[in-house]
């Protein structure tokens, strides 16, 4: 199997996971922190895993720059969650 076929399968799997799992969970966590709640240990683990996964997929995005904007928007969402979570910690 050539690299482009492998990439296509990986990208399809990643997009499905993003749509069905990652994005809904991230938006739920964002709602929590925007409501003043603290990040739970489970939330922090989720964000760490997302970050680690994004690091592992950097080469894939480099090979497919059409996914760069989506990737950067997702990372901005996670950054927003972390920033708001830290602000909430400071106010407790």
Tens of pLDDT along 64-92? 999 999 999 999 999 999 999 999 999 98
Q: What is the pTM of this model?
A: 0.92
- Domain chopping of the chain, boundaries: 46-92
Contacts of residue 23, defined as CB under 8 A and 6 or more positions apart, other chains included, come to 74
Whether the pLDDT of residue 1 is over 90: the answer is no
pLDDT at 92: 87
Among 65, 74, 68, CA closest to 46:
74
Tens of pLDDT along 23-71? 999 999 999 999 999 999 999 999 999 999 999 999 999 999 999 999 9
Tens of pLDDT along 4-26? 899 999 999 999 999 999 999 99
Q: What angle do CA 53, 2, 11 make, to 5 degrees?
A: 30
pLDDT at 66: 96
């Amino acid at each position: 199997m050539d690299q482009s076929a492998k990439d296509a399968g990986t990208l399809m799997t990643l997009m499905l996971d993003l749509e069905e799992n990652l994005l809904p969970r991230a938006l739920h966590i964002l709602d929590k922190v925007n409501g003043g709640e603290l990040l739970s240990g489970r939330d922090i683990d989720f964000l760490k895993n997302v970050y680690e996964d994004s690091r592992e997929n950097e080469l894939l995005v480099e090979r497919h720059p059409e996914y760069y904007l989506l990737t950067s928007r997702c990372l901005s969402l996670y950054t927003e969650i972390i920033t708001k979570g830290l602000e909430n910690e400071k106010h407790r």
